């Protein structure tokens, strides 16, 4: 089965290799206020005082790196890409959307103030993370089932 919208299989490993450093960079920035000093810029931004604000791009780099790496992991072809894998992919994506919005609803109800902003930062990545976890689990389960049937 040919799927035009999937990346080549080799992108999956590249995604995993990229994911680790960007994850650590994001955690270091979010919890330890780590910034690369060479990423300090005057950034265009809406503000009452001026059109520019001094900022650091470390968090933007970490977020973009995480999104790109998770997209590469989640949407790369499998070694054998058939109708069963396509079905598992679709089911996993639907499941991840449901879980993501359940988490979002719970965050809206129970988290307020600046904690909500932190929850929304995490929520940017949960669809992809839930999808990858669910899809990998479904592929593992199907592979195990097929191996048991062949014995």
For 55-110, what is each residue's pLDDT tens digit?
888 999 999 999 999 999 999 999 988 999 999 999 999 999 999 999 999 999 99
Residues 67 and 100 in one domain: no
Residues 121, 69, single domain; the answer is no
Are residues 86 and 72 part of one domain? no
Beta strands in 27-144 (DSSP E): 40-44, 52-56
Same domain? For 30 and 63 the reply is yes
DSSP 85-112: HHHHHHHHHHHHHHHHHHHHHHHHHH--
Give the residue with greater pLDDT, 149 vs 107: 107
pLDDT in tens, 11-64: 999 999 999 999 999 999 988 999 998 888 776 766 666 666 668 889 999 999
pLDDT of residue 4: 75
| Domain encompassing residue 120 | 82-151
Nearest Cα residue to 65 out of 108, 105, 24, 116: 24
Count up the domains in the chain and report the number: 2
Together in a domain, 31 and 19: yes
> What pLDDT score does 126 carry?
94
In this prediction, residue 3 carries a pLDDT of 67
What Å distances lie between residue 122 and 14, 21, 61, 102, CA to CA? 23, 17, 15, 14
Cα(114)–Cα(40) distance, integer angstroms: 24
Structure confidence at residue 46 (pLDDT)? 66
pLDDT at position 55 is 80
pLDDT greater than 90 at residue 150: no
Q: Token digits for 13? A: 């490993």
Integer Cα distance of 135 and 32 in angstroms: 32
């Amino acid at each position: 089965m040919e799927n035009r919208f999937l990346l080549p299989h080799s992108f999956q490993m590249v995604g995993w290799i990229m994911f680790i450093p960007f994850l650590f960079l994001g955690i270091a920035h979010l919890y330890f206020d780590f910034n690369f000093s060479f990423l300090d810029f005057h950034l265009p931004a809406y503000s009452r005082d001026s059109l520019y604000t001094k900022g650091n791009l470390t968090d933007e780099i970490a977020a973009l790196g995480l999104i790109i790496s998770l997209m590469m992991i989640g949407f790369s072809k499998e070694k054998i890409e058939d109708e069963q894998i396509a079905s598992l992919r679709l089911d996993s994506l639907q499941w991840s959307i449901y879980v993501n919005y359940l988490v979002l609803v719970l965050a809206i109800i129970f988290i307020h103030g600046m904690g909500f902003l932190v929850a929304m930062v995490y929520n940017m990545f949960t669809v992809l993370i839930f999808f990858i976890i669910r899809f990998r689990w479904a592929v593992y389960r199907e592979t195990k089932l097929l191996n048991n049937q062949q014995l």
